[in-house]
């Protein structure tokens, strides 16, 4: 199998992290090509072209946003397998080989890895392990052993190119634009891949690990609140395209088992656990409220990105 690795970038503010991401891909040694897609930023594009002449550096050919950038790379990639790494993540040695190894089974159409946070300081109390999804990292509640899952995580994932192209790639009305945390596009494509063929398998391989930088603005209660609200909106969006049952199949167990256990654990810690308890309850409540608001907005407006973007600002 041939392999393409894709990184999408949109801002010069992450230049140092992008350089680390690109270097970590070069160190893998298994990729047939590396594609860097720059999202409507001419200065970043020019600088990246000069810095990485050995890579395929190109502009996003669609509208602004992560999904369009990924689709731009997907259309031109030479690999049978296309792996995606975030511009603020660093792949561990063996990351790519481990992802590729998951495709030995021909029924596997997607393989996802794990991510651990690189904090800007000490690990924040506002982000207990159960809420690490808020900063794009593996959270308590995910499987700890390899096996089938509903969806992969966006910062560390790989797909068979042809099946992904066959469903139209990533939904540009779902993915993140800049810093606005409307997402779940990788969840949506994984669900669609299984809906078009129930024999398709999405596989989780936790040993395919990346380290994900977390910026200082994302370790605050305000970001927990905003990100959770946007997660609810995002789930409402994909519920419209893939159905409510599939869109929320993993979330029900998370909300009824994982989070209550976390609250009980933190309450037993006494005053030291109150920040985490507050964050968990706030996240759960706002994600639920965002979902209800998103579903109501879709009924009235048809569920466009514009309607979700407006609600995200509330």
Percent of the chain's residues with pLDDT above 70:
91
**For residue 308, what pLDDT is reported?**
45
pLDDT category of residue 299 using cuts at 50, 70 and 90 = very low
Under 8 Å between Cβ of 91 and 25: yes
The answer to whether residue 297 scores a pLDDT higher than 80 is no
**For residue 305, what pLDDT is reported?**
46
DSSP-derived secondary structure for 271-308: GGGHHHHHHHHHHHHHHHHHHHHHHHHHHHH---HHHH
**For residue 298, what pLDDT is reported?**
56
Distances (CA, A) of 66 to 31, 62, 63, 252, 295: 22, 10, 9, 27, 23
Backbone angles phi, psi at 237, to 5 degrees: -65, -45
The answer to whether residue 270 scores a pLDDT higher than 80 is yes
Percent of the chain's residues with pLDDT above 90:
80
- Determine the angle formed by the axes of helices 185-196 and 66-76, rounding to 10 degrees: 50
Q: Tokens for 53, please give them.
A: 């002449």
**For residue 243, what pLDDT is reported?**
86
**For residue 176, what pLDDT is reported?**
55
Pick from 308, 279, 81: nearest CA to 180 = 308
Strand 156-160 vs strand 108-118: parallel, antiparallel, or unpaired? antiparallel
What would the pLDDT profile of 91-136 be if each residue is shown by its tens digit? 999 999 999 999 999 999 999 999 999 999 999 999 999 999 999 9
Average pLDDT (150-163) is: 95
What would the pLDDT profile of 54-90 be if each residue is shown by its tens digit? 999 999 999 999 999 999 999 999 999 999 999 999 9
Under 8 Å between Cβ of 39 and 10: yes
**For residue 177, what pLDDT is reported?**
57
What would the pLDDT profile of 3-38 be if each residue is shown by its tens digit? 999 999 999 999 999 999 999 999 998 899 999 999
Pick from 140, 77, 78, 137: nearest CA to 112 = 137
The answer to whether residue 39 scores a pLDDT higher than 70 is yes
The answer to whether residue 227 scores a pLDDT higher than 70 is yes
Pick from 209, 2, 227: nearest CA to 85 = 209
The answer to whether residue 311 scores a pLDDT higher than 90 is no
Domains of the chain: 3-312 (3.90.550.10)
Distance CA 214, CA 231 (A): 18
pTM recorded for the entire structure: 0.90
Under 8 Å between Cβ of 129 and 139: yes
Establish how many alpha carbons lie within 13 A of residue 29's alpha carbon, considering only the half-sphere containing its beta carbon: 4
The answer to whether residue 306 scores a pLDDT higher than 90 is no
What would the pLDDT profile of 228-250 be if each residue is shown by its tens digit? 999 998 888 888 888 888 778 78
Average pLDDT (262-283) is: 97
Name the average pLDDT for the chain.
Answer: 91
pLDDT category of residue 295 using cuts at 50, 70 and 90 = confident
């Amino acid at each position: 199998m041939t392999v393409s690795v894709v990184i999408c970038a949109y801002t010069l503010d992450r230049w140092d992290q992008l350089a680390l991401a690109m270097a970590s891909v070069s160190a893998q040694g298994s990729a047939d090509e590396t594609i860097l897609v720059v999202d409507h930023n001419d200065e970043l594009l020019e600088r990246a072209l000069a810095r990485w002449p050995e890579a395929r550096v190109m502009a996003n050919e669609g509208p602004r946003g992560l999904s369009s950038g990924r689709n731009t790379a997907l259309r031109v990639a030479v690999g049978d397998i296309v792996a995606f790494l975030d511009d603020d993540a660093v792949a561990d040695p063996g990351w790519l080989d481990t992802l590729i190894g998951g495709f030995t089974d021909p029924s596997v159409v997607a393989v996802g890895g794990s991510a651990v946070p690189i904090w800007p300081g000490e690990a924040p109390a506002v982000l207990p392990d159960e809420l690490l999804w808020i900063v794009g990292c593996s959270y308590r509640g995910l499987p700890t052993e390899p096996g089938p899952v509903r969806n992969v995580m966006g910062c560390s994932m790989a797909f068979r190119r042809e099946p992904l192209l066959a469903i139209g790639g990533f939904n540009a009305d779902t993915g993140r634009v800049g810093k606005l945390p409307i997402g779940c596009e990788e969840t949506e494509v994984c669900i669609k891949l299984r809906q078009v063929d129930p024999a398709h398998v999405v596989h989780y391989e936790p040993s395919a690990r990346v380290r994900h930088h977390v910026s200082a603005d994302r370790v605050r209660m305000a970001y927990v609140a905003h990100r959770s609200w946007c997660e609810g909106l995002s789930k409402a969006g994909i519920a419209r395209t893939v159905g409510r049952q599939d869109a929320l199949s993993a979330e029900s167990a998370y909300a009824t088992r994982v989070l209550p256990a976390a609250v009980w654990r933190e309450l037993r810690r006494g005053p030291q656990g109150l920040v985490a308890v507050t964050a968990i309850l706030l996240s759960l409540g706002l994600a639920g409220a965002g979902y209800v608001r998103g579903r109501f907005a879709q009924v009235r407006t048809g569920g466009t990105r514009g309607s979700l973007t407006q609600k995200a600002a509330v």
